[in-house]
Chains A and B, each alone.
Chain A
């Protein structure tokens, strides 16, 4: 689709333009994603992407899915591809888009129904399979972490959560501004 390509190019261009700072993966992702600089960087990228989107398809308004994808790609670009999920988001090719959607929808319906209480009442800790099931599910939620080991998965998840929080903050601020509603919306902490 012609819409997404300029966005993709732009994202990658931005990514290359940005220098790489040395940051170890175990460093607290929260601190990184909470900084104002990152927030600003992401917001500007998002804005760029959205404007390009609008400009490239003047006839039809962009659908929510497309907007979401551009937002995700902008987020992954800000992450500088140092994490698995960011690389996975950026490397998703166009032709796979349709196919990828269905299994994801099916998976979202499946939920580890094993409750918080362990299977056997007398058992102190839940069965290892329960944890494994949840870990699998989490791996499907976080992009690019399906086959990652458990510690890797946890690391990726923490970074992903911090990044998502920032994304939500930035997008809500942007939506507020665009819709022209009252200012002064405090970002969700």
Chain B
């Protein structure tokens, strides 16, 4: 159907056209000398054919006649639109999208039945709500482009077309590139806002460059802190050397020097027999952490290592404490509770080992 229309520049007597189209064409007959090949296309037909659109755009020689909906300079916008449309036309089949949005198109039909669009100088009245609905951006672009296409194609038919849908706000560029740019900018600003919350002292700073400066400084300082702490940990590790006993006694020393060391030796034979459990509980003891969940797995994973002269009481109590408290205990309180446990008299040791047996 479209091909036929193409080859018959004079108003087409194509039977497949809708009545509204025919009416339109009749009305537009007097525009013939001005329009050239434009008015042979029905509003829906040429919206569906990118080739036709391209040809129409090629022949476009009066950009001023293209409707502008935002009060911008019509010429400029139309030229811009033309350029954009032309590059865009070969690409996506947006026409289906445009035709399926029935609600939008009805407006065009209503306008058909009304007055004819073009005046002598070609400026056409445009009614354009600023933001119609809250559809997605891609949707916006498609509708907008179909609107632009139809606008460019026929100055006479222009107003009826889908000039409705541009989601861009008043005074803003409506072409695809600027929309994409806007989306990108919004994404970036959203993330910058988030970073602003994260980095301390960034509330007063505005501007991307200074924000980035602050962020860089902060990341560098955090990394330096990690370096320093790792150095500290390495040195702490090195002082404790090979022996885990030493390490643990060092831990215990500041806390309870009276009760634990004498219990160190008697613990050993018992400790040896519970080696698999020992290792896991050492981890609990050392870290003061809630290892309850990992406990069985750790026990399985561990290989036999050097026997630990770790008082069983400490380990067991740590274990019970952590299982009771679960994850609701904060880091510090966990550690504190473990250190408290360390102060327990070792008298309870035998009881707890019995528990461990079962």
Interface of A toward B, CB cutoff 8 Å: 17, 28-30, 36-37, 39-40, 43-44, 47-48, 50-51, 53-55, 58, 61-68, 71-72, 108, 112, 114, 116, 118, 125-126, 130-131, 134-135, 137-138, 141-142, 150-151, 154-155, 157-158, 160-162, 164-165, 167-175, 177-180, 183-187
Given A61-B237, A173-B331, A138-B227 contact (CB < 8 Å): no
Instruction: Contacts A134-B212, A172-B229 known; list 9 others, CB within 8 Å.
Output: A36-B327, A51-B286, A55-B305, A61-B241, A64-B227, A116-B207, A131-B212, A157-B195, A178-B236
Is the contact region of chain A dominated by helix, strand, or loop, or is it mixed? helix
Identify the closest chain B residue to A186 (Cβ). Answer: B332
Chain B: interface residue total (CB-CB under 8 A): 62
Decide if B220 touches A171 in the complex (CB within 8 Å).
Answer: no
Interface of B toward A, CB cutoff 8 Å: 184, 187-188, 191-192, 194-195, 197-199, 207-210, 212-213, 215-216, 218-220, 222-223, 225-227, 229-238, 240-242, 250-251, 253-254, 283, 286-291, 294, 297, 305, 327-332, 335-336, 339
Residue in B207, B222, B229, B289 whose CB lies within 8 Å of A44: B289
Decide if B289 touches A151 in the complex (CB within 8 Å).
Answer: no
Given A130-B209, A154-B191, A171-B226, A178-B233 contact (CB < 8 Å): yes
Complex Cα spacing A23 to B123, Å: 53
Residue in B210, B222, B229, B233 whose CB lies within 8 Å of A161: B222
Decide if B237 touches A67 in the complex (CB within 8 Å).
Answer: yes
Identify the closest chain B residue to A61 (Cβ). Answer: B238
Complex Cα spacing A48 to B212, Å: 36
Identify the closest chain B residue to A60 (Cβ). Answer: B238
Residue in A68, A138, A172 whose CB lies within 8 Å of B212: A138
Complex Cα spacing A130 to B330, Å: 43
Given A37-B327, A44-B289, A63-B220 contact (CB < 8 Å): no
Decide if B332 touches A168 in the complex (CB within 8 Å).
Answer: no
Given A64-B234, A71-B226, A157-B192 contact (CB < 8 Å): no
